[in-house]
Structure 1
């Protein structure tokens, strides 16, 4: 099993990507996943390379700017964003680009998404790991499908996928069952947690009810060799010391549970 334990730069927001690299290096993470977003550093290949070199830490993945609040980062044309994400990945030595499925209103993009992702992988030699999302719901009522071709990547023919445990929690979807459906197509993991609410909570793993420990144990037993990236929400931390404790707790959780039991 060769997977790294990485830290998403999103985990330190509202601090910058530079702070994420510093936390990762200080706490003993193996790598960083760069969320391309409104932080100007996250959009610059040269800055990311300098941060990786300065802290002697790998960049394991680039998260394409496909969130609602990053719709205008790197322009508004979605395929152009993915091409630029692949270029950044190649330049910094990352093998994976994490991408969300299109929103419902992006009909032209969505119509060719599955085939387009396959074509991008072939032309760039970068894995585009499509992430599980969730129905949007304001309460316990039935959710609205806001993604095309759908929120569950196991229902499509993607060669590479990402499972995010917070998203699985919102969808009330069993992540172990999803991993079993995906098999070797599971390339990347976002380690976090959720309580089953309609909010995308991104809790410290172990503080929710999605079964992050059992999921990691299953991934280890199944021979998962991709990277496990901590993607938590630390915006409510009162200071940097509390944020650091949450990041350390998440790393310790990953190290404990992403391990093959001794026979």
Structure 2
């Protein structure tokens, strides 16, 4: 069964309880909590209060990555992952979304895959490494993540697919989903304009269907193959953060899109016939 949830980032910087309220009013099944500088995103008691008040579970936790969350859960990157996973376990969430390290985080980058495995073993929570993108400044393009911005090339058991990040990377999201195979355990539902110069476009996080990624095709593929992960909306709402009616409209459009395309079409083949390259080692689960 696929669960459809909403990320608290959709209404950031509004308080955590507002995110649960928006998710309930929009029709989502649950909430992904992105850990930020706001104490409520790190306080299991307050989160459980919101779960009880709005009748929605925490489906996943996003480890702190935003600049405003620099000191959330301390400064040690391994500690951030461990405490994020402990929070997820305490709340009954099975997944923590993790970004690959930046290249200048030398020790964390060197030990990243072993740290992910250690935290998973210690907490029983899966750490799903999210696809990111290279950065372009003028003619210069650089991968600022290590081992890579592409989770296909990272030796981890679980991965997160973000459609907007794939667009910035110049990567077709269906190709990425097929390349990840059974390692794809989590989806950030949004859209983006596919870049012809990877790293050169803004990370848009559009409402699905408003960009050029094959979002409907990916969701249909997941539904037809019996995938049992979580599809979590992560659409930009910053411009409408204080226009609650506009925010609700965007969220309702997103959840309606998800439910429409996550209904299996029995008349279609169980998987697309698109050829997929194998750019690197893909570990077995």
Q: Distance in 2 between matches of 1:73 and 1:131?
A: 19
The runs of 5 or more residues in structure 2 that have no matched partner are 196-200, 268-285
Q: Secondary structure at the match of 1:177?
A: helix
Q: Secondary structure at the match of 1:143?
A: strand
Runs of 4+ that moved beyond 2 A: 66-69
Q: Which position in structure 2 is the counterpart of 1:176?
A: 174
Q: Is contact 2:37–2:71 with CA below 8 Å preserved after alignment? A: no
Q: Secondary structure at the match of 1:158?
A: coil
- The answer to whether residue 158 in structure 2 is matched with residue 155 in structure 1 is no
Q: Distance in 1 between matches of 2:82 and 2:234?
A: 23
Matches within 5 A, 1:16-27: 16-27=15-26
Q: Distance in 1 between matches of 2:174 and 2:194?
A: 16
Q: Which residue of the other structure, out of 221, 224, 231, is the alignment partner of 2:224?
A: 221
Q: Distance in 2 between matches of 1:17 and 1:27?
A: 16
The Cα offsets for residues 30-64 of structure 1, whole Å up to 9 and x where unpaired, read as 01000000222112111111101111111100000
Matches within 5 A, 1:247-258: 247-258=251-262
Q: Which position in structure 1 is the counterpart of 2:90?
A: 91
The runs of 5 or more residues in structure 1 that have no matched partner are none
Q: Which position in structure 2 is the counterpart of 1:191?
A: 189
Q: Distance in 2 between matches of 1:107 and 1:143?
A: 20
Q: Which residue of the other structure, out of 232, 257, 260, is the alignment partner of 2:235?
A: 232
- Quote the offset at 1:142 in angstroms: 5.2
Matches within 5 A, 1:1-263: 2-138=1-137, 141=139, 143-196=141-194, 198-237=201-240, 239-263=243-267
Q: Which position in structure 1 is the counterpart of 2:276?
A: none
- Quote the offset at 1:143 in angstroms: 2.4
Q: Secondary structure at the match of 2:10?
A: helix
Q: Distance in 1 between matches of 2:19 and 2:184?
A: 25
Task: Give the superposed CA RMSD.
Answer: 1.3
Q: Distance in 2 between matches of 1:70 and 1:143?
A: 27
How many residues are aligned here? 261
Q: Is contact 2:171–2:194 with CA below 8 Å preserved after alignment? A: no
Q: Distance in 1 between matches of 2:27 and 2:204?
A: 25
Q: TM-score, normalised by structure 1?
A: 0.95
Q: TM-score, normalised by structure 2?
A: 0.88
The Cα offsets for residues 108-154 of structure 1, whole Å up to 9 and x where unpaired, read as 00001012111211121100001000001245x45211101000001
Q: Secondary structure at the match of 2:97?
A: strand
